[in-house]
Amino acid sequence: MKIGIDARLWSETGVGRYIRALVYHLGQIDDTHEYVLFLKNKDFNEVEMPNKRWTRQEADVSWHSLEEQLRMPGVYKQSGADLIHIPYFSVPVLMPTPFVVTIHDLTISHFATGKATTHPKLMYALKRLAYRFALWKAVRSAKRVITVSESTKKELVSEYRLSPGKVAVTYEAGDFEKGTQAAAINTPAKYILYVGNAHPHKNLDQLLNAFSLLRRKNSEIKLVLVGPDDYFYQQLKNLPENKCEGVEFIHNVNRDELYTWYRKALCLVFPSLSEGFGIPGLEAMSQDVPVVCSNISVFHEIYGEAAVYFDQNDAQNIAETILGLIADEKKRKDLRIKSLKKAAEYSWKKMAQETLEVYENCYRV
């Protein structure tokens, strides 16, 4: 079987991390099938093929675009692949080739707010309708749907009336990519860490409210926000100065720098209103760093007793929970032990093995 993997998001965080791990481990475990990677120009000559059964094909097409809808079906067909894996919900409506799709979360369904866009409200509303249709068409037309947690599977089955047997759960992981090492960077002496984007569902406004309360009791602690230097982070930076006192914005870090930010943190804070999985929490746990996070179902599923939970809608509770953990050395020590064990339960290699099983089951049907 020849399998095509849409890797146009190769260099991105989040989905890009998933794609890179999938490709690396498939290259290690599968000595039977052929693969073709669809790559954008900027990555085409940079991505090393795992072995001689892997090839690359240029697909310099932006995601979420009309061009994607018009051109990508032809690109997929030209590859001669028997099965295409699209690791994101943005699937062309007219797919000529059998495919599987990975749905990482249903944020776009749950957060119908113009805050989550740089476009005028009418344009945002129209694009959101288009996204929802594309998502509906993708999950209904796919041979199989892959998702990354039981929580998201339940949402998919409920919202899109899918058969539970059509949806496979392949957990992600938090281990760092091969070759990652500590970087020489300057960090505050004591800091709380957040890693991720600043989209509205990440709830960073509430985190900043909580941090303002926390600083009244312990002004030595800093809050470090690591993420892309984009419109959403600029919105945070434009907040009144007193709301950002003690906050450091760190952008465009490489993997060695990110690894180092984790290792030196007092804890990772993860205040999201909704997530599909929660890679940063496992990354922190793998580096012996305690996790303080929202009281949402997916975090309980993934982190279990290895995290401390707060009410994500209550700034006072967020502040008190973080301060309580920092002040309780015994609790921190117990949490570190649980965290390392929890992080070890997840493996990118296992994710790739389970994804390969999905491919093979699709081909046999």
**Biggest alpha carbon–alpha carbon distance for the chain:** 63
Distance, CA of 281 to CA of 271 (rounded, Å): 11
Number of alpha carbons in the 13 Å side-chain half-sphere of residue 97? 25
Q: Would you tell me which CATH number, out of the four given (3.40.50.2000, 3.40.50.620, 2.70.170.10, 3.40.50.300), belongs to the domain 191-344?
A: 3.40.50.2000
Q: Which residue type occupies 281?
A: G
Q: Which of 203, 219, 365 is nearest to 299 (CA)?
A: 203
CATH class of the region 2-173+347-364: alpha beta
- State the angle between helix axes of 329-344 and 315-327 in degrees (0 to 180), rounded to the nearest 10: 100
Query: What are the domain boundaries of the chain?
Result: 2-173+347-364, 191-344
Instruction: Note whether 2-173+347-364 and 191-344 share their fold.
Output: yes
Q: Which of 106, 192, 210 is nearest to 157 (CA)?
A: 106
Q: How far is CA 262 from CA 36, 193, 273, 333, in A?
A: 34, 7, 22, 17
Q: Which residue type occupies 46?
A: E
Q: Which of 194, 197, 218, 226 is nearest to 294 (CA)?
A: 194
Predicted confidence pLDDT, tens digits, the chain (365 residues): 999 999 999 998 889 999 999 999 999 999 999 999 999 999 999 999 999 999 999 999 998 888 999 999 999 999 999 999 999 988 999 999 999 999 999 987 777 555 555 567 777 777 778 788 889 999 999 999 999 999 999 999 999 999 999 999 999 999 988 888 889 999 999 999 999 999 999 999 999 999 999 999 999 999 999 999 999 999 999 988 778 899 999 998 999 999 999 999 999 999 999 999 999 999 999 999 999 999 999 999 999 999 999 999 999 999 999 999 999 999 999 999 999 999 999 999 999 999 999 999 998 76
Q: How far is CA 307 from CA 144, 172, 335, 338, 357, in A?
A: 32, 17, 7, 8, 31
> What residues pair up with 282 in beta bridges, in sequence order?
none
Count other Cβ atoms within 10 Å, centred on residue 154.
15
Joined together, the tokens standing for residue 129 give 């309708």
Q: Which of 188, 168, 130, 185 is nearest to 352 (CA)?
A: 168
